[in-house]
Amino acid sequence: MHVTMIAAMDGERALSRGGRVPWHLPADVAMFRGYCEGKALLAGRRTWEQMRGWFRAGQLPLVLTRREGLEVPGGRAVGSVGEALRETWVRGYGELVVIGGGETYGAALGVAGQLILTEVRGKVGGDVFFPALDPCEWEVKDEVDHAADEAHEFAFTIRRYERRAIEPTDEPL
Ligand SMILES: NC(=O)c1ccc[n+]([C@@H]2O[C@H](COP(=O)([O-])OP(=O)(O)OC[C@H]3O[C@@H](n4cnc5c(N)ncnc54)[C@H](OP(=O)(O)O)[C@@H]3O)[C@@H](O)[C@H]2O)c1
């Protein structure tokens, strides 16, 4: 079972401001849509509320919540990341993609093996943040730059990270 987290953030890891994402980057949105096609997707309840109507046939929306009885069209509510992993497996999906927001990235970071992170060039500012990454744990595998243009107010870089394997060591524990 693969777990990927996908997010866009500014240079200070801000994900959103006042409940909305403060940039519009169509090429990044297209990459996000393409990556999420046909996959199990874990969203925090607040992000899911904002994305109603976005989910497509073939996707399995799983909504992280502490609430009882939340109805999720085409998917279901889950009370933990572990429950989301079980549901992904039971329904026959090979990958769970964590699509935010900040609390949900924080809850899932420990089980993620891959990150696809768009860094929006500049300090856009926000009030919800992606968790800090330990550079010892993550290795950049691919990196694609996109310049600012008439459709993209900001330049941005999309990086794909993989979790580093733990090296065997002779050091005493
Ligand atoms: N830039 C990006 O890539 C990106 C991506 C996604 C979202 N966003 C932004 O992120 C913001 C939302 O992020 P957020 O951090 O406020 O909220 P969130 O992670 O979307 O959702 C938070 C909710 O998830 C549930 N939850 C969180 N941790 C849980 C746990 N350990 N166990 C069970 N349930 C848990 C709770 O739901 P209940 O209250 O129902 O119990 C909580 O209120 C939005 O403004 C959105 O625009 C940005």
Q: What is the CATH number of the domain that holds 88?
A: 3.40.430.10
Ligand 1 pocket mutation pick from 97, 128, 130 by most atoms within 8 angstroms of CB:
128
Q: What pLDDT tens digit does each residue of the chain (173 aa) get?
A: 899 999 999 999 999 999 999 999 999 999 999 999 999 999 999 999 999 999 999 999 999 999 999 999 999 999 999 999 999 999 999 999 999 999 999 999 999 999 999 999 977 889 999 999 999 999 999 999 999 999 999 999 999 999 998 777 777 76
Is the CB of residue 83 below 6 angstroms from any atom belonging to ligand 1?
no
What gap in Å lies between CA 32 and CA 51, rounded to an integer?
A: 13
Does 79 map to a domain? yes
CB 117 within 8 A of CB 90: no
CA-wise closest residue to 42 among 91, 92, 1, 95: 95
Question: Does 6 reside within a domain?
Answer: yes
Q: Give me the number of domains the chain comprises.
A: 1
Whether 143 is covered by a domain: the verdict is yes
Check residue 173 and give its pLDDT.
Answer: 64
Residue 82 lies in a domain: yes
Task: Flag whether 168 is in a domain.
Answer: no
Task: Name, in order, each residue with C-beta under 8 angstroms of 22's C-beta and a sequence gap of 6 or more.
Answer: 14, 16, 124, 125, 126
The upper half-sphere exposure of residue 154, i.e. CA atoms within 13 Å in the direction of its Cβ, equals 19
Q: Which amino acid is at 77?
A: A
Domain holding 103, by residue range, is: 2-163
CA distance 3 to 5: 7
Alpha carbon separation from 124 to 14, 73, 129, 148, 158 (Å, rounded): 8, 34, 12, 14, 17
Ligand 1 in contact with 65 (CB < 6 A)?
Answer: yes
